[in-house]
Structure 1
């Protein structure tokens, strides 16, 4: 079960709940055709689903053996169906990309797209992202991307949000000096959460140049309509990241009237 601990280990709160891993015929065909080339399988920790064996190191030697070169590596936490990272890999063949996703149909979609375009610089991994960050060597990644993570809108579930102080510390350690963590959300309350986690840190610099007004108190799933009446303050965010394609998910958010919040945090 997600979050299950092994002997002598505390139960870890996970940022996801496993959904059905069943693939339809088209996605199963894609998995069978492309997994051997694009699916990155890492040694598992048997006591916790989608976790990595604690003695495994995701280091420069492993990266070079996997991708065949030492090009800069960008990691996307929560790739969805792979629309964004596949487009990025197509546009930038001189950079390597790693897509992390916990839902098997999303992984299969990413494999299908990678195979369709014959990409050589992309791998997809079905794994719990914080485990991958912990396994990574210091200064290994050029960038980390987290676009439209699960908002966990209920107040009691906010602690499950993927952007947390512990993950921020691991991302900072895994980033090259000057590397950036790019985050985007279309949920106003999640934007406030990101600011609370990230803006007070001395290991990241918020490099944004856009001023936005946000409520200074959190709302929950049933009280979101109260946000406009709460006290507001100005926060610094970034303009839209040019390297992020307009996915169907983001398009639906815009059509629903939600504002997109972009963040760029540079490792210092």
Structure 2
């Protein structure tokens, strides 16, 4: 696993992924060759590193140089195969989109779809997202999306979950006043984890309008079947986000009988 750190922040960056050997099939290799120069950002990284280069700063001038305009900026953390970010970029050509992903095959597939649609409003970065967010100018982002992050089901690995207080604090700075963080998960214990992190953060407001019941204690891999017997409490969650398409990943979760949890948090409308 990576031990990349945020040199500028003086603390270890959240690392919610495992580095693994990746090989592109012929179709994705061709997409990477054809489209990476158009869509993939250079963040000053050392070869093979997912950490942002020393001294790199992502600010409004950077945005204007990349997209050539001022427009709402939507950032997806963990864009996977790119279905959601590409669909939304097609639907909203007047918005800027940035897809953050660590795995090359997912990025190549996103490039392939973006290139086929000749999208000019989407860019990609192969980066550990918390490291980049720590380098962002305050108020730069309109919305952040985190759909179905790795649940890290083992109890000892819950500390590796992406949604953590440090990331929430960084996003509270990166988001414009009134901006939102949209999160979706099909893992009940991850939903509880999000509530624990985000409902306690005074800089965010839970915009949920649906009352749901969740266990008040955590379970892990091998003990998830005990959740129903644990004490429960009421939490507020959101209606399904209309801007999220149903991907094959989400469809498999629904077919397996898992409940989809949509959570929406708004940063304070004033600084």
Q: 1:83 — aligned with what?
A: 83
Write out per-residue CA displacement over residues 177-206 of structure 1, whole angstroms, 9 at most, x where no aligned residue.
Answer: 000000000000000000000001110000
TM-score after normalising by structure 1: 0.96
- RMSD of the alignment, in Å? 1.6
User: Matches of residues 56-135 of structure 1 in structure 2 within 5 Å?
Assistant: 56-135=56-135
In the TM superposition, residue 19 of structure 1 has moved relative to its aligned partner by 2.0
Q: 2:145 — aligned with what?
A: 145
Structure 1, unpaired ranges of 5+: none
Q: 1:92 to 1:2 in 2, by over 3 A?
A: same
Write out per-residue CA displacement over residues 151-182 of structure 1, whole angstroms, 9 at most, x where no aligned residue.
Answer: 00000000000000000000110000000000
Q: 1:23 — aligned with what?
A: 24
In the TM superposition, residue 45 of structure 1 has moved relative to its aligned partner by 5.7
Q: 1:219 — aligned with what?
A: 219
Distance 2:221 2:38 in 1: 41
TM-score after normalising by structure 2: 0.95
Q: Is the 8 A contact 2:6 2:13 kept in 1?
A: no
Distance 1:234 1:6 in 2: 37
Distance 1:141 1:4 in 2: 24
Structure 2, unpaired ranges of 5+: none
Q: Is the 8 A contact 2:215 2:227 kept in 1?
A: yes
Task: Specify the SS of the correspondent of 1:135.
Answer: coil
Distance 2:11 2:179 in 1: 32
Q: Is the 8 A contact 1:23 1:105 kept in 2?
A: yes
Distance 1:69 1:140 in 2: 13
Q: Which runs of 4+ in 1 moved over 4 A?
A: 4-7, 9-13
User: What is the number of residues matched between the two proteins?
Assistant: 266
Distance 1:249 1:149 in 2: 11
Write out per-residue CA displacement over residues 79-123 of structure 1, whole angstroms, 9 at most, x where no aligned residue.
Answer: 000000000000011101000000010111111110011111000
Q: 1:177 — aligned with what?
A: 177
Q: 1:240 — aligned with what?
A: 240
